[in-house]
Structure 1
């Protein structure tokens, strides 16, 4: 099942890139493996997937120890400040930096280990009360502040779009984030490498790619249905 699902997802990514006139190499598929056993991750790994996303620190740490060391782990869920030290050095990217206080905690823990941690700022474009993240109007000042941290490097932006029946309904969300992303690129802020745009999940990743996503987070589309956590299926 996983192999067939991966083939389908990759085919859809290719089609979305062709529709948008983009090089498929610009888009990285992150297989969202939260709640899934190691055996399922190994099956996707055997099919060539190397980027996996987790939303809980404990689960990420357990899988980090158990699974191949060349896996690139992405922290995509809400990260509590008291758990930052547990994942420092284990992730290739933290997508969900949703506050200055969290960024400060990452800086503090990274400094202790003399590491530079790559992050994305999570932007709550739709300003949903149920979601974490900076509002768009707050984001630039946060970027300027975090850019001064020596052990944290901003690589781009992330958003979780609303849960909708039709993916087209989220196009405006993706457009807004893409425009802000381009604006930030043009400012050439020191210590900010605005090159990654993480948006789109199982229900809307094709629209996200058409609007410029470089990272798409797909779980259900690869591993099958799971119990919903909150209102979103990735």
Structure 2
């Protein structure tokens, strides 16, 4: 094991203890929560180290940076596209990334559906909802969610398997709790309505500064950057 891998393993052990404690507080099973390593600031070698120490899920934010990394390691982990996705870049993502966490508008849904149809492939998406209402964040307004689901209900090549949100950056992670709770409530609401293309099982929420509260509120994927992956 290299020095870099040993450091990663030690960070993972620390994170694991925090995840387990949060699961215990929420009476949840540890296996319900999966770590996505956010690798936008590190190179392909660092991704190789993450995979070597047992990290399975890799999250990339920018298509142009992700493609060369995916070329080297795409067959070794489960790749998630977690950044804002421009419609004209969808063709680069569909077929490479099993999960897209940033479905946030009708034009993107139409393009993902079209690309999925061309590949005879169902694109697994997370619907991004801007629970906090911050103008600086992407995502559908909660007021637009049901209309969006109705408009996309006939798209046979996209499947909304989860929801994603980002909480405000705050010093006290307790201040993010209501945002995460709001996303969990949307999961329940959508599932009650039984849309054929939106059977929501996953919640992608929580980052390095607030993942423990996100777990307590139902996160199934937490997106960890700085607490796990240290860029040079």
Hey, what's the Cα distance between the residues in 1 that align with 2:60 and 2:74? 15
What 5-or-longer segments of structure 1 have no aligned partner?
227-234
Residue 121 of structure 2, aligned match among 111, 115, 119: 115
Residue 215 of structure 2, aligned match among 203, 209, 213: 209
On the 8 A contact 2:208/2:224 being kept in 1, the answer is yes
Q: Find the residue that maps to 1:155 and give its secondary structure.
A: strand
- Following superposition, the deviation at residue 144 of structure 1 comes to 2.4
Name 2:49's counterpart in structure 1.
Answer: 43
Off by >4 Å, runs of 4+ in structure 1 = none
Q: Does 1:142 align with 2:143?
A: no
Q: Does 1:171 align with 2:138?
A: no
Hey, what's the Cα distance between the residues in 2 that align with 1:3 and 1:53? 18
- Following superposition, the deviation at residue 28 of structure 1 comes to 0.8
Name 1:200's counterpart in structure 2.
Answer: 206
Name 2:192's counterpart in structure 1.
Answer: 186
Name 2:109's counterpart in structure 1.
Answer: 103
Hey, what's the Cα distance between the residues in 1 that align with 2:209 and 2:220? 16
Deviations 1:68-98 (A, max 9, x none): 5131110000000011001110111000111
What 5-or-longer segments of structure 2 have no aligned partner?
1-6
TM-score relative to the length of structure 1: 0.93
Q: Does 1:155 align with 2:161?
A: yes
Name 2:30's counterpart in structure 1.
Answer: 24
Deviations 1:157-186 (A, max 9, x none): 000111111101000111111111111112
Hey, what's the Cα distance between the residues in 2 that align with 1:136 and 1:127? 9
Q: Find the residue that maps to 2:102 and give its secondary structure.
A: strand
The total of aligned residue pairs comes to 226
Deviations 1:196-228 (A, max 9, x none): 1000000000000000011100011101267xx
Matches within 5 A, 1:53-68: 53-67=59-73
Q: Find the residue that maps to 2:178 and give its secondary structure.
A: helix
